[in-house]
Structure formats: structure tokens, C-alpha cells
């Protein structure tokens, strides 16, 4: 029973982190129908920045968000205007973006190697005291609990943005029907640019905590996060940001319990579930056939 509870608690914390890691990817697809294959690389860059702030200034990851989030939001805005509008004018924005961001991901990985080398880097668990907490009689690192709490706060912030602000209403209008939104006076570029900036900032925010709860940071780890994020948003529903949470829960619990009881299958079972979802319900667990939100 102890192992079962441990797996439940650990999977819950991982589900929160994975939700944050994949949320921006689903947001940008929902608004712009573009496939950002460089998503994991932005997460890695956020991790490197947070680690640098911890080493040189003693920032813990929560404090580093005050630098990471606005900086990467600005980077997202700067990248949006030269890249995304041209993609959306193409005959097949999804495929064009797939090809473009495939190249961007390789370029970013190469830059990470040049600036940070190939060595793994990690955040220091001792930045959070006490080192461990008790949840449901299961002992877990405090850093994991803080990561999950920040992730939940970010998810709530995205919900409030989408459902409690005028800009969020326009964002959801683009998700439902881009042409009708434009016909009703929505400034497509402004709304899309903000959504793109948010998506990059969310990825970087997840990166600030990634080496604490998941993999040590290295230039090559971005591909892994991109793959996991895509699996999560496909399970939940492509184009529905908040469905990311359900996808992350399914993925995390599949991994967590398999890791306890069938460890040799832990990296396989979540993707078997992904395949099953694609075959049984291609639009995702919370998706609609027309990909409406």
C-alpha cells in the first residue's frame, strides 16, 4: 500500500509539472495552428537561465521567475513578427511551421552547446528548506511540492487570462474560428503575438524547475520535453489549452505506476496509451471532431 500511495503522490506532482511544460505548446497550436518543435529548447533555455541566477545571485527558481517570465515573453514577441505571420499566410501553416521550427530547434540546441557545453546541470535542492515534506504519509522533496504549486498557479493564471479578460475572449475566438474573429474586428496579429509570448514564457517557467523534478538540464534534453509535451496535448486535445491538464494527469499516472510495478515498461506505457487514444479518439479525450474550443 505504501508504494501505491508513493506513486499516487509522485504522479500528482509530476502531472502538475507536465501540465505547465506542455501548456504553452497547446496554447500556440490552438490560437495559430502552428507546430512549435522548438518548444523543448525554450524550456531548456529557461532552465539554464534559472540555474545561472541561482549560481551567481542565489535566486531560487520561484524568484527567478521574475526574470525568466518577462524576458522570455519579450523573446516570444520578438520572434513572432518575423516568423509566424508568414507561416499563417502559407497554404499549410501546420506543415510549414513544423519544418521551420524543426530548424529553429536544431539552431537553438547548437547555440546551447556553444554557450553551456554538453555537461548536465542541475538546480540545488538545498535552495528550499526543509528538504523534504510529508504528503499523505509519503515523503517527497520540498522542491517537487513547490514546483507543483507554481505549476498550478500558472494553470490558474492561464484560465483567468482565457476566461476572465477581454484579451482572453479574443484569444478563444481565434481558437474557434479565425476568419470569423477577424471579421468581427479582432486584431489577429496582436492577439496571436501575446499568445505566442505567453507560450514561450510558460515553457521557460517550466524550465526553471525542470532539473529539480525531472531531467538534469543539457542541450539535448529539449527534444525529450517536446516529445512528452506533444504526447500530453494529443491525449488531452490539440488546440484546447486546459485539456492539457487531463493529458498530463493520464501521462504522469501511467508513468508513475508503471515505474513502480513494471519499471522496464515505464517509458513505454504512456506512449502506448497515446497510441490507443489516437486510434479510439483522434481528437483527444476532451476534443471535438472539428477541433473547436
The phi and psi torsions of 73 (rounded to 5 degrees) equal -60, -45
Q: Give the per-residue pLDDT at 293.
A: 39
Beta-bridged to residue 121, according to DSSP, are 217
204 closest CA partner among 61, 3, 34: 61
Q: Give the per-residue pLDDT at 288.
A: 74
End-to-end CA distance of the chain: 40
* Span 71-122, pLDDT tens digits: 999 999 999 999 999 888 888 888 999 999 999 999 999 999 999 988 899 9
271-279 LR contacts (CB < 8 Å, sep 24+): 271/231, 273/235, 274/231, 274/234, 274/235, 277/234, 277/235, 278/234
Average pLDDT, the chain: 93
47 closest CA partner among 68, 20, 16: 68
Q: Give the per-residue pLDDT at 178.
A: 87
123-128 LR contacts (CB < 8 Å, sep 24+): 123/47, 123/50, 123/51, 123/54, 123/61, 123/209, 123/211, 123/212, 124/54, 125/212, 127/54, 127/60, 127/61, 128/60
Half-sphere exposure at residue 214, Cβ-oriented, CA atoms within 13 angstroms: 28
Which of the pair, 157 or 91, is modelled with greater confidence? 157
Given a cut of 70, whether residue 290 has pLDDT beyond it is: no
C-beta separation of 151 from 16 below 8 A:
yes
Given a cut of 70, whether residue 2 has pLDDT beyond it is: yes
- Between CA 293 and CA 290 the distance in angstroms is 9
- Between CA 125 and CA 130 the distance in angstroms is 10
Given a cut of 80, whether residue 1 has pLDDT beyond it is: no
Cell of 183: 471579421
Neighbours of 54 (CB within 10 A): 20
Write the class of the CATH domain 2-280.
Answer: mainly alpha
Q: Give the per-residue pLDDT at 289.
A: 59
Q: Can you tell me the mean pLDDT for 126-140?
A: 89
* Span 167-192, pLDDT tens digits: 999 999 999 888 899 888 899 999 99
The phi and psi torsions of 132 (rounded to 5 degrees) equal -135, 150
pTM higher than 0.85, yes or no? Answer: yes
Neighbours of 190 (CB within 10 A): 11
Neighbours of 161 (CB within 10 A): 17
Exposed / middle / buried, residue 59 (Cβ in 10 Å: 0-12, 13-18, 19+): buried
Cell of 113: 552547446
Amino acid at each position: 500500500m505504501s508504494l501505491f500511495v508513493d506513486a499516487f503522490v509522485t504522479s500528482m506532482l509530476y502531472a502538475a509539472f507536465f501540465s505547465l511544460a506542455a501548456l504553452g505548446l497547446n496554447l500556440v497550436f490552438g490560437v495559430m495552428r502552428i507546430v512549435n518543435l522548438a518548444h523543448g529548447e525554450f524550456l531548456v533555455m529557461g532552465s539554464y537561465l534559472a540555474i545561472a541566477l541561482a549560481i551567481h545571485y542565489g535566486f531560487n527558481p520561484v524568484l527567478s521567475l521574475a526574470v525568466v517570465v518577462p524576458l522570455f515573453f519579450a523573446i516570444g514577441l520578438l520572434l513572432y513578427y518575423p516568423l509566424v505571420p508568414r507561416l499563417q499566410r502559407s497554404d499549410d501553416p501546420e506543415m510549414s511551421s513544423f519544418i521551420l521550427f524543426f530548424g529553429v530547434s536544431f539552431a537553438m540546441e547548437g547555440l546551447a552547446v556553444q554557450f553551456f557545453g554538453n555537461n548536465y546541470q542541475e538546480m540545488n535542492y538545498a535552495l528550499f528548506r526543509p528538504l523534504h515534506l510529508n504528503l499523505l504519509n509519503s515523503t517527497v522533496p520540498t522542491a517537487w511540492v513547490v514546483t507543483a504549486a507554481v505549476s498550478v498557479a500558472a494553470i490558474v493564471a492561464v484560465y483567468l487570462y482565457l476566461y476572465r479578460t477581454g484579451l482572453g475572449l479574443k484569444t478563444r475566438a481565434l481558437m474557434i474560428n479565425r476568419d470569423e474573429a477577424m471579421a468581427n474586428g479582432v486584431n489577429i496579429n496582436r492577439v496571436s503575438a501575446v499568445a505566442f509570448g505567453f507560450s514561450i514564457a510558460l515553457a521557460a517557467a517550466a524550465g526553471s524547475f525542470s532539473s529539480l523534478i525531472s531531467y538534469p538540464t543539457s542541450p539535448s534534453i529539449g527534444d525529450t520535453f517536446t516529445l512528452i509535451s506533444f504526447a500530453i496535448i494529443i491525449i488531452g486535445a490539440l488546440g484546447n489549452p486546459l485539456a492539457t491538464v487531463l493529458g498530463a494527469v493520464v501521462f504522469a499516472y501511467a508513468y508513475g505506476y508503471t515505474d513502480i510495478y513494471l519499471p522496464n515498461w515505464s517509458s513505454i506505457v504512456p506512449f502506448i496509451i497515446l497510441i490507443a487514444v489516437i486510434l479510439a479518439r483522434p481528437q483527444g479525450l476532451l476534443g471535438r471532431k472539428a477541433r473547436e474550443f
